[in-house]
Amino acid sequence: MTNPVNINPTSNAAKKRGIAPAVNTADNFGSKLLRQAWQDSGLSLRQLGRQANTSHATLNAYMKGSKSPSTATLERIIGACGYAIDTSLRPRIRFSNGVPRGEELAQVLALAEQFPARQDKELKLPIFSKHAEA
């Protein structure tokens, strides 16, 4: 018997054994996401295919990672599983002038501690009446 590790992923032998060619990380993430949503849904692959208007063979290819769905198709399939994908873009705050943001804040606070604090000898509080007016 041939060791599966030595099989070329694009060969016919690999296809017969269900070995999918290696794909990039984004595709692996999508296939894992689809597989998890499908397993959590409790639907059969054919049921999911009918609800998502996609063939079960194509769904299988998406889940194996041998084929990548478009974003719209991914959302449609995830929706048929009873889930939603929420995405948003936000700026990443990493460095300013080569200094990590947390370190920059620590430097600012250390600088602020060096300035003298002026404190009054008496604590002035706002005067409130004993009976609040309604």
> What residue ranges do the domains of the chain occupy?
23-80
Fold held by 23-80: 434 Repressor (Amino-terminal Domain) (1.10.260)
The answer for 20, left when phi > 0, alpha when psi is -120 to 50, beta otherwise, is: beta
User: Considering only 1-10, 23-32, 67-76, 89-98, which range has the smallest mean pLDDT?
Assistant: 1-10
CB of 16 closer than 8 Å to CB of 4: no
- Give percent above pLDDT 90 in the chain: 31
What are the tens digits of pLDDT across the range 40-67? Answer: 999 999 999 999 999 989 999 999 888 9
Beta-carbon-side half-sphere exposure of residue 107 (alpha carbons within 13 Å): 7
